[in-house]
Amino acid sequence: MSGMGSWVLCFLFLFGSGLPVPIMNDTNWIKDLILTADVVEESAVPAMPLLFHFNDKSYYIGSIVKLNFFEAEQFCSYHGMRLLSITSNDENVFLGQSLIDHGFTSASDIFWTSGTRLPDEEHWIWLTTGSRIDFTNWAVGEPNNVGKVEKCLEVNRIKIPKKRDLFWGDQNCAGKLYFICEYKRPKTISYVIDRLNKLVNASDIEIVV
């Protein structure tokens, strides 16, 4: 079994055991995930999770598999984190530079945040905190709500190669993208590192779906 295949099965095992995770119980969704993971593997993205820190937050780059907005939030929360919120220019620049440092600058490197305007389809909020989005860094022409179905907020480094900060855009929430989780850093980061190590070390688990 390939390393990525093991990762996918590990992922399915974690979501299929323990706490109830309604979305993950959908068989068709699981088939989609496996198919998506095969595509991800072919694109040779980094095989290991990435973790970095800024002020009191730690961030995890979800680049193992592409998920929709809701699945991404579920992945983060299941693993003790939450989907990304960006509350300042400093944080936005830091994240942009971090993605550059880790090589996430290709056209396929687009990441879900927890930003959405689903509640009233007008005002943007961070879903995970309930806070209104005050600081923004929309790219020119965004948010453009193409097809009137773009209700969730993605970030990427595609269109501003000479700047360090993140480009923001609205996107269809059902789209499959990478994602960034965040975690309020405790006094020691050992808890987060321990959880990620468990994810990595569990890669030999085999599950029959």
Closest CB to Ca ion among residues 16, 175: 175
Q: How far apart are CA 19 and CA 141, in angstroms?
A: 41
Question: Does residue 144 touch Ca ion according to CB under 5 A?
Answer: yes
Closest CB to Ca ion among residues 62, 169: 169
| Binding residues with Ca ion: total (CB under 5 A) | 4
Residue 5, classed as helix, strand or coil, is helix
Question: Does residue 159 touch Ca ion according to CB under 5 A?
Answer: no
- DSSP designation for 205: -
Closest CB to Ca ion among residues 44, 140: 140
DSSP 132-197: B--S--BPTT-S--GGG-EEEEEEESSS-TTSSS-EEEEEETTS-EEEEEEEE--SSTHHHHHHHH
Closest CB to Ca ion among residues 6, 145: 145
Question: Does residue 154 touch Ca ion according to CB under 5 A?
Answer: no
Q: Quick one: which of 41, 71, 109, 170 contacts Ca ion (CB under 5 A)?
A: 170
Residue 20, classed as helix, strand or coil, is coil
Query: For Ca ion, which residue has the nearest CB?
Result: 170
Of 60-68, 104-112, 137-145, 197-205, the segment contacting Ca ion by CB under 5 A is 137-145
Q: How far apart are CA 153 and CA 172, in angstroms?
A: 9
Q: What residues numbered 65-124 form the site for Ca ion, per CB under 5 A?
A: none
* Residue 31 CB-half CA count within 13 A: 3
Q: In which residue are the tokens 């700047």 written? A: 163
Question: Does residue 150 touch Ca ion according to CB under 5 A?
Answer: yes
State in angstroms the smallest separation of the CB of 124 from Ca ion.
13
State in angstroms the smallest separation of the CB of 171 from Ca ion.
6
Q: Quick one: which of 12, 61, 169, 181 contacts Ca ion (CB under 5 A)?
A: 169
* Residue 179 CB-half CA count within 13 A: 31
State in angstroms the smallest separation of the CB of 121 from Ca ion.
14
Q: In which residue are the tokens 């998920």 written? A: 67
Where on the chain is the footprint of Ca ion (CB under 5 A)? 144, 150, 169-170
